[in-house]
Amino acid sequence: MSSNILFTSNERGKAIFLSERDLLIKSYCSLSKTCSRREACHCDFTEAAKNYAISNGSSSAGSVIIALKGELAAGIGEYKIGKNQLLKAMGLGSCVGVILFDHSTGICGIAHVLLPGISAKGETKYAETAIEKMYEAMLKQGARKRKISAKFAGGAQVFKHMNLDILKIGDRNAASVEETLTKWKIPILAKDVGGDSGRNVIFNPVDGSMIVKYTKGETLWL
């Protein structure tokens, strides 16, 4: 098949499959809170994805299947911009994964924010700097200002037994992200912040879903 990432949906839900050659090795399913490795799964999503791979691009009856053009992962302090690509910010503790997307053009971006506030040196590990630079870069690539929306997740309290404000970096990161998005008048469609668990954040550009995978196993589609 032409892509190693497949998005499939039907009236029951939706799922994303990552594959190697024709072997489905991992999935994120909206019907399950714990679905992360489903080699033995025989649900209709899995069967539809397998049939798509075997038939070299023919969708199964009752299911919509779209092949993405790969994936981009933003490391700590980075942002990535893509089109028709899965976007990822992995290993978020107190960090926040910020997604900006324009459905009208398909241009989207993800930032892995480490610290709150703005950087005088233009460092994108800071929330305000990262969002502003990613936003401007998306506009230069053709995104439409009035069509851009946002989703974000992360900001866990890693040191949950510590009450010092200086250690509540997760809360401060989440607040800084929200303040910056509000400042730039970017609508916030979904967020999942706080708690004491780490997260992986994945964005599906096909339907605008933000998939939040907790280190404890639960998966949310927002």
Residue where a domain terminates, one of 67, 86, 114: 67
Cα–chain center distance at 7: 14
Q: Assess whether 47 and 91 both reside in one domain.
A: no
Mean pLDDT across the chain: 87
pLDDT of residue 41 exceeding 60: no
Same domain, yes or no, for 42 and 121?
Answer: no
Q: Which domain holds residue 55?
A: 5-67
Domains in the chain: how many in total? Answer: 2
pLDDT at 119 over 90: yes
| The pLDDT of residue 31 | 79
> Does residue 207 sit in the same domain as residue 100?
yes
> What percentage of the chain has pLDDT greater than the value 70?
84
Residues 94 and 152 in one domain: yes
**Are residue 144 and residue 87 in the same domain, yes or no?**
yes
**Pair 152, 159: CB distance under 8 Å:** no
CA distance 152 to 203: 10
3-state secondary structure of 33: coil
- Do 143 and 183 lie in one domain? The reply is yes
Q: What are phi and psi of 147, to 5 degrees?
A: -105, -5
**pLDDT category of residue 185 using cuts at 50, 70 and 90:** very high
- Do 84 and 180 sit in the same domain of this protein? yes
Q: What is the mean pLDDT of residues 63-73?
A: 89
Contact residues for 165 (Cβ-Cβ < 8 A; gap 6+): none
Instruction: In whole angstroms, give the CA distance from residue 89 to residue 113.
Output: 9
Tokens describing residue 206: 């096909």
Q: Are residues 104 and 130 in the same domain?
A: yes
**Sequence-ordered list of residues with C-beta below 8 angstroms from that of 143, at least 6 positions apart, any chain:** 102, 105, 107
